[in-house]
Amino acid sequence: MSNWEILWDERAQFWSGFLSTLEIFGLSIVGAFVIGCGLLYLLEGSRKRLTIPLRIFIDAMRMLPFLILAYLLYYGLPSVGIRLDAWWSGVGALAVYHGAYFAEIFRGNRLTFPPGQIEAAKAHGFTKGKMFFRLLLPQIIMQTRPLLGNQLIYALKDTAFLVIITVSELTAAANSLSSTYFIPTEAFIVVIGFYWAISVTMEIIIKQCGRFSAKRGFDNV
Amino acid sequence: MSEANTSEMAAVSIRHLSKSFDDVEVLRDVELEVKTGEVVTIIGSSGSGKSTLLRCINWLEKPDRGSIHIAGQRIGIHEDGRPMPVRELAKVRAKTGMVFQGFNLWPHLNVLHNVTEAPIHVQGASKREAEERAMALLEKVGMVDKRDSYPNTLSGGQKQRVAIARALAMQPEVMLFDEPTSALDPELVGEVLAVIKDLSAEGYTMVMVTHEMAFARAVSDQVVFLEKGLIIERADPETFFTTPKTDRVRKFLENHDTPSPA
């Protein structure tokens, strides 16, 4: 039996690892997106005593290796009485870490947002909340689409780190098959194929979304 | 509002308005009253404070002293000196409609949705009601057939006409125009001025900052000349353009090719 045939027979393991990776990735990027938007909202027009700690938090996250954060949540939190299982530690770490990146991407774009549009919103009686969600955020998302797409790929790749804190996802499946049958090359090549498949699908979706913003003059797709 | 007689109440009433940027006094004790249905044009050279004056009316600039009432309601500060909470300020602001030099349309929304956005999400109008109102206004400014277009596909003149419809959709007590044609190519100025002229004929109350002297003369009920933050002359347009009282205004008009009567 060739090494590839062994892997084909064990396809159920890859499949469940793949689904698990998709689930972790999906949940954590939704979480990251919400955190990114939330941070942007809190930064919008707030006082320094709020914005300074938020900026420090964002930068601290961005300057931290992801794995350390995952370790901290999984091994460190129990010492302060919070016990998350490996799966939730992983999802939480991914969401917070990439949420900080999302926030920074949004914030950078917010700095170049035309002030005239904000004035027009105020002149038409908008208050911060409605203005943020109806006028600012949709445009910022459209404008940062390529950067967000890039960040999503980073987030996907970071899910592989979770094998280290014992989450059984795609890389864990490959790891286990490679050590059970001593076929690391084939096992890891298969897993690369899965990561590429997710990334390419995501790229296509994000590119398609670009048509929506191109129609409004936000970019040239 | 119930006590005051609406017909006598001013649409805009500005009292003792002063404003400085750092050490520069841009407005000095300005007094201005705009009656309902009246068109007031503010002119003056650049840096005279005319845009600042206009922007104080809806509190986009916060004056240092003085008071502004829109249809009898104080904006920005309560009578007892307390600053107005943002929600309340937004409500008073919505009594004014503003048209900007740079249009400032919301580019992610099409023409129709630019006009319905504030009525639905600020005033709480139903979608149907807002769209009916919007279509009538787009008709008025000649932009109905562009209702599904996005702002990036429009010319400057078209953008400004949509911006006018957008401001009118709030059914404001007063329309504020901040150099509405200054950013336009010369051949597009006429279409925007024509719309504003129609509005004045329909009895809209308007305060306008403009460099279009012939236009100011044709549509204004009152012309105000601002110089270094002071109103140095105010008159009906005929008097203002034919027999100005001050040398300053005479000189200004000479440099601006005083228009012949429209």
Mean pLDDT confidence for B182-198? 94
- Alpha-helical (H) ranges within chain A are 3-9, 11-43, 48-62, 66-71, 86-111, 115-123, 128-130, 137-158, 170-181, 184-215
Domain definitions of chain A by residue range: 3-220
Q: Which residues pair with B34 in a beta bridge?
A: B12
Per-residue confidence (pLDDT) for residue B193, from 0 to 100: 95
Distance CA A36, CA A26 (A): 15
B177 touches chain A (CB under 8 A): no
User: Which chain B residues are within 8 Å of A215, Cβ to Cβ?
Assistant: 150
Crossing angle of helices A184-215 and A137-158, in 10° steps, is 180
pLDDT tens per residue across span B162-173: 999 999 999 999
Residue B2 pLDDT exceeds 90: no
* pLDDT tier for residue B7 given thresholds of 50, 70 and 90: very low
B162 touches chain A (CB under 8 A): no
B170 and A125 within 8 Å at the Cβ level: the answer is yes
Mean pLDDT confidence for B203-218? 95
Per-residue confidence (pLDDT) for residue B6, from 0 to 100: 44
User: What ipTM score was computed for the predicted complex, to two decimals?
Assistant: 0.91
Q: How far is A64 from chain B, CA to nearest CA, in Å?
A: 35
Q: Going residue by residue through chain A (221 aa), what tens digit of pLDDT does each one get? A: 688 888 898 899 999 999 999 999 999 999 999 999 999 999 998 889 999 999 999 999 999 999 999 999 999 998 988 888 999 999 999 999 999 999 999 999 999 999 999 999 999 999 999 999 999 999 999 999 999 999 999 999 999 999 999 899 999 999 998 889 898 889 899 999 999 999 999 999 999 999 888 989 887 54
User: Which chain A residues are within 8 Å of B99, Cβ to Cβ?
Assistant: none
User: Which chain B residues are within 8 Å of A134, Cβ to Cβ?
Assistant: 117, 121
A216 and B150 within 8 Å at the Cβ level: the answer is yes
Per-residue confidence (pLDDT) for residue A221, from 0 to 100: 46
Q: Which of A117, A127, A216 sits opposite B104 (nearest CB)?
A: A117
Give the DSSP letter of residue A167. -
Q: Which of A116, A128, A138 sits opposite B104 (nearest CB)?
A: A116
Per-residue confidence (pLDDT) for residue B259, from 0 to 100: 54
**Fold that domain A3-220 belongs to in CATH:** MetI-like fold (1.10.3720)
Q: What number of residues does chain A have? A: 221
What percent of chain B has a predicted confidence (pLDDT) above 70?
95
pLDDT tens per residue across span B119-162: 999 999 999 999 999 999 999 999 999 999 999 999 999 999 99
Contacts of B57 (CB under 8 A, 6+ apart): B12, B14, B68, B70, B75, B96, B174, B176, B207
* pLDDT tier for residue B1 given thresholds of 50, 70 and 90: very low
pLDDT tens per residue across span B12-66: 999 999 999 998 999 999 999 999 999 999 999 988 999 999 999 999 999 999 9
Q: Which of B86, B105, B117 sits opposite A134 (nearest CB)?
A: B117
Residue B4 pLDDT exceeds 60: no
- Which has the closest alpha carbon to B161: B94, B108, B219, B115? B115
Per-residue confidence (pLDDT) for residue B8, from 0 to 100: 58
Per-residue confidence (pLDDT) for residue B81, from 0 to 100: 86
Per-residue confidence (pLDDT) for residue B177, from 0 to 100: 97
- Tokens 């008073």 correspond to what residue? B92
A139: nearest CA partner in chain B:
B108
pLDDT tens per residue across span A98-118: 999 999 999 999 999 999 999
Per-residue confidence (pLDDT) for residue B3, from 0 to 100: 42
A143: nearest CA partner in chain B:
B108
Mean pLDDT confidence for B81-105? 94
pTM recorded for the entire structure: 0.90
**Which of residues 60 through 119 in chain B touch A, CB cutoff 8 A?**
60, 86-87, 90-91, 93-94, 96-98, 100, 102-108, 117-118
Residue B260 pLDDT exceeds 60: no
Per-residue confidence (pLDDT) for residue B224, from 0 to 100: 96
Residue B133, CA distances (Å) to B30, B164, B197, B259 in order: 36, 13, 20, 37
User: Which chain A residues are within 8 Å of B103, Cβ to Cβ?
Assistant: 116
